[in-house]
């Protein structure tokens, strides 16, 4: 399928999605949300794709935010619908049972920081800058930023960053736990693929269960108890061929070969 605002390439079962509006620093307009929504469905259904990278086109930005040009004509009801739409697409990323990692290659501001935070974890290049500068516009984050930044860096730092609108650079993002690794810009995608290759060598059902249980932990277990979910998910793994293969291979002192069954 073709997506007007995204570039897609798949290699070794890893699909790289590149948000492709470099002249607007990859700002998220309605079309990007439509394309992201659709591509996530297509990826979920595509057996050839086992994991995903999200990055931005050009050397300067991952995503510099929601498209501010779309804000000027909105009334309250429309603004709420926009925030809900953004949150729903980002929930789809967060709840994907296939791993989705952000490779942040420059500015990740506003909706860009929120997009990165909706991914399962993040790597960034040395020139990356993160921030929620919405207060500069008389706004607050609307695509989950008030919640996910708080989950990732803690209440005090989240308050400071969202009240001052200040950006943090790659090393501070690393120190805060906002990103897991910092690399050179040239090495960013290779390093991300290296990590996904390790993940892809594990049992896919187990990976999906890890994602579900950890999401329940940080979401405060809305309607769900994370410990109970862990018990059920642990049990579910015992019904998979991959669990039998993994435990048998260990006992037979050989490398497990997982099939996703």
Binding residues for ligand COA (CB under 6 A): 24-25, 27, 64-69, 107, 109-111, 133-134, 137
Phi, psi of 125 (to 5 degrees): -85, 165
67, 144, 14, 19 alpha-carbon torsion, rounded to 10°: 0
Does the CA dihedral 33-133-102-16 come out positive or negative? positive
Shorter beta-carbon distance to ligand COA: residue 121 or 130 = 130
Q: Cα–Cα distance between 249 and 118 in angstroms, integer?
A: 35
Among residues 114, 224, 230, 245, which one is catalytic? 114
> Shortest gap between Cβ of 66 and ligand COA (angstroms)?
4
Which residue lies nearer to ligand COA by CB, 168 or 213?
A: 168
Is 134 among the catalytic positions?
yes
Q: Which is nearer to ligand COA, 112 or 204 (CB)?
A: 112
Q: Judged by CB, which is closer to ligand COA: 4, or 69?
A: 69
DSSP 169: E
Spatial separation of the C-alpha atoms in residues 63 and 192, rounded to whole Å: 18
Distance CA 91, CA 219 (A): 11
- Those residues whose C-beta lies under 8 Å from the C-beta of residue 189, and which sit 6 or more positions away, are 16, 53, 55, 103
Q: Which of 94, 126, 134, 194 is catalytic?
A: 134
Q: Is 114 a catalytic residue?
A: yes
Beta carbon nearer to ligand COA, 14 or 170: 170
| Residue 133, CA distances (Å) to 41, 43, 72, 146 in order | 30, 31, 17, 12
In whole angstroms, the minimum distance from the beta carbon of 140 to ligand COA comes to 9
Question: Per DSSP, which regions of 72-197 are E strands?
Answer: 100-104, 107-109, 121-125, 129-131, 168-169, 181-183
Give the residue numbers annotated as catalytic, written as ranges. Answer: 114, 134
């Amino acid at each position: 399928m073709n997506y007007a605002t995204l570039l897609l390439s798949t290699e070794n079962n890893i699909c790289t999605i590149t948000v492709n509006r470099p002249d607007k620093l990859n700002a998220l307009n309605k079309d990007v949300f439509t394309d992201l929504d659709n591509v996530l469905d297509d990826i979920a259904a595509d057996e050839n794709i086992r994991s995903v990278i999200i990055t931005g086109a050009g050397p300067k930005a991952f995503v510099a935010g929601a498209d501010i040009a779309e804000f000027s004509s909105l009334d309250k009801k429309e603004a709420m619908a926009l925030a809900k739409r953004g949150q729903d697409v980002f929930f789809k990323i967060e709840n994907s049972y296939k791993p989705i990692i952000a490779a942040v290659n420059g500015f990740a501001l506003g909706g860009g920081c929120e997009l990165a935070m909706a991914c399962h974890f993040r790597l960034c290049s040395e020139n990356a800058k993160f921030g929620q500068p919405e207060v500069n516009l008389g706004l607050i984050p609307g695509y989950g930023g008030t919640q996910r930044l708080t989950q990732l860096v803690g209440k005090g730092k989240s308050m400071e960053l969202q009240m001052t609108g200040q950006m943090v650079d790659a090393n501070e993002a690393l120190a805060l736990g906002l990103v897991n690794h910092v690399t050179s810009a040239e090495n960013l995608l290779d390093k991300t693929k290296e990590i996904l290759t390790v993940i892809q060598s594990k049992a896919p059902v187990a990976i999906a269960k890890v994602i579900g249980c950890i999401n329940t932990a940080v979401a405060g277990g809305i309607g769900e108890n994370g410990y109970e979910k862990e018990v059920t998910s642990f049990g579910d793994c015992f019904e998979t061929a991959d669990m039998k293969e993994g435990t048998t291979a260990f006992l037979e002192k050989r490398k497990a070969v997982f099939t996703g069954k």
